[in-house]
Amino acid sequence: MDSEKIKKLALVLGAVAVFMTILLVILPLFLRKRTHGPVTLVYWGLWEPAEVMEPLIKEYEASHPGIKINYVQKRFGNKDSLSYVGTYQDEVADRLVKTGGVDIVRIHYSWVAKYIKYLAPAPSKLLNASYMQEKFYPACYQAVVASDGNVYAMPLYIDGLVLFYNKQLLNKAGYNSPPETWEDLLGYAKTLTKKDSNGNIVQAGIAMGTASNVLHAPEIILLMLSQSGVNIVDLNTRSFNLTGEDAVSALDFYLNFAREGVWDYRLPSDLNMFAQGKLAMMIAPSWRAHDIGAMNSKLEYGIAPVPVLAGIDPSVPKYVANFWVEAVPRNSKHKKEAWEFLYWLSQPEQLRKLYDLESKLRAFGEPYSLKSMASELKGAPYVSAVIEMAPYMKSWPVVDYGVWEEQFKTQIASLEGSKLNAATILNNVNANLNKLIFNK
């Protein structure tokens, strides 16, 4: 072969090589750039309207040009029940287990254990157990970090039961401060209860001892069981443990408030009675203050930590948390981007903005979940009691708080007006919870 032909062959081979390079390397990069659009995250919220979330979302989108976030406020359903039968929980379960299409979803903290195999853990380089334990309150850490060490949800706030008390009624009875122990609470309640000539309660001291007209009765019982040292539920053995003597004593003490005549199942709900100024004390989550304000803006009341057992063992949790968390479904197509947004949203600067935006629409925002921000809410109206209790709160993994609530309400309400037996109630509830939640 002469040199001319060799040159021509070399040119041809060179051209082919260039073409193949374009075909195999450059063209795919070009096409990828042309076809890869922005990532859109679908975010299901619950309590916060778009007016609260959109400013933060726009700020994040501005600093992350490839991310778009579609925030959807879902309907809560019946606000006096956490079971959401046929409503929110069913929608969440359907998206988590079957249809997908959601990248961030707000769930009750107890649902983390229920749906954990359908949730995407946070990337360990972004969030890990050590970080959560260092930055967040113990109850937040307990709620979102699983036994495998992974983080399965993000707590943006913390809440729990507080004691609402009518300042005028307590002062009139000679009390300058709210009770700090359950024994003191019972004493206050007896003094503050007023009856007419027929023995009917016209002013109640405390709403406890029943279930049909105490909105947060199951949560109060959970608190009292916890303070009594009851190992309420064990995820390792997949069982509820509510039949021991300590559990019976705790429930008996709760029921005694009705037996002692300071409350009655025939009265209106505790929320209505308190708003009307006819109930001296009520135990409920801090957010009930929004309802009270809407019902009677002139009512003078205070909010304090809930009572504890006198001489309580320091190793026993004093308080019980109850809050919601943001989770990323395992079937999300954008898990990494979703977790990066939640990490950003959980930083102090964003939590302050969130609190301020919430406070513009209602009396106050959600208490911060970060320990380092506690001093910022010290003395703040409505939420300072929550922050005071937060370091000592526990999150019990009851798996489905709606089922817990329904069982206690049903069992106690069915016996109201007759002799309430704590052991019988707990035996029934324990058996039903093990069956309904753990299929035992």
Nearest to 61 by CA among 35, 75, 43: 43
Residues paired with residue 240 on neighbouring β-strands, in sequence order: 233
pLDDT of residue 4: 55
Q: How does residue 2 score in pLDDT terms, banded at 50, 70 and 90?
A: low
Instruction: Indicate the fold that domain 161-320+400-438 takes in CATH.
Output: D-Maltodextrin-Binding Protein; domain 2 (3.40.190)
pLDDT of residue 415: 84
- Rounded alpha-carbon distances, angstroms, from residue 228 to 221, 225, 247, 386: 10, 5, 7, 21
Q: Which residues contact 299 (CB under 8 A, 6 or more apart)?
A: 166, 274, 275, 277, 292
Q: How does residue 313 score in pLDDT terms, banded at 50, 70 and 90?
A: confident
For residue 261, pLDDT over 90 is answered with yes
For residue 5, pLDDT over 80 is answered with no
**Which of 8-17, 74-83, 285-294, 365-374 is predicted with the least confidence, judged by mean pLDDT?**
8-17
- Rounded alpha-carbon distances, angstroms, from residue 364 to 264, 271, 284, 324, 377: 32, 19, 16, 17, 11
Residue % of the chain over a pLDDT of 90: 84
Q: Is the dihedral of CA 285, 288, 292, 295 positive or negative?
A: negative
CB 306 within 8 A of CB 163: yes
Q: What angle do CA 245, 246, 248 make, to 5 degrees?
A: 65
3-state helix, strand and coil shares in percent for the chain, rounded to the nearest 5:
50, 15, 35
User: What are the two backbone dihedrals, phi and then psi, of residue 161, each rounded to the nearest 5 degrees?
Assistant: -70, 145
| The two structure tokens encoding residue 102 | 């959601």
* Segments making up each domain of the chain, as ranges: 39-158+324-380, 161-320+400-438
Q: For 121-155, how does the pLDDT look when each residue is reduced to its tens digit (9 = 90+)?
A: 999 999 999 999 999 999 999 999 999 999 999 99
Q: For 183-241, how does the pLDDT look when each residue is reduced to its tens digit (9 = 90+)?
A: 999 999 999 999 999 999 999 999 999 999 999 999 999 999 999 999 999 999 999 99
For residue 77, pLDDT over 80 is answered with no
Q: For 371-417, how does the pLDDT look when each residue is reduced to its tens digit (9 = 90+)?
A: 999 999 998 989 999 999 999 999 999 999 999 999 999 999 988 87
CATH superfamily name and code, 39-158+324-380: Periplasmic binding protein-like II (3.40.190.10)
Nearest to 402 by CA among 326, 324, 329: 324
Q: How does residue 1 score in pLDDT terms, banded at 50, 70 and 90?
A: low
- Rounded alpha-carbon distances, angstroms, from residue 439 to 117, 167, 197, 304, 426: 17, 47, 51, 39, 18
Average predicted confidence (pLDDT) for the chain: 91
Separation between Cα atoms, residue 230 and residue 246, nearest integer Å? 6
User: What are the two backbone dihedrals, phi and then psi, of residue 438, each rounded to the nearest 5 degrees?
Assistant: -110, 5
For residue 245, pLDDT over 90 is answered with yes
Domains 39-158+324-380 and 161-320+400-438 share a fold: yes
Nearest to 228 by CA among 261, 254, 256: 254
pLDDT of residue 31: 43
What are the helix and strand counts (H, E) for the chain?
Answer: 18, 13
For residue 22, pLDDT over 50 is answered with no
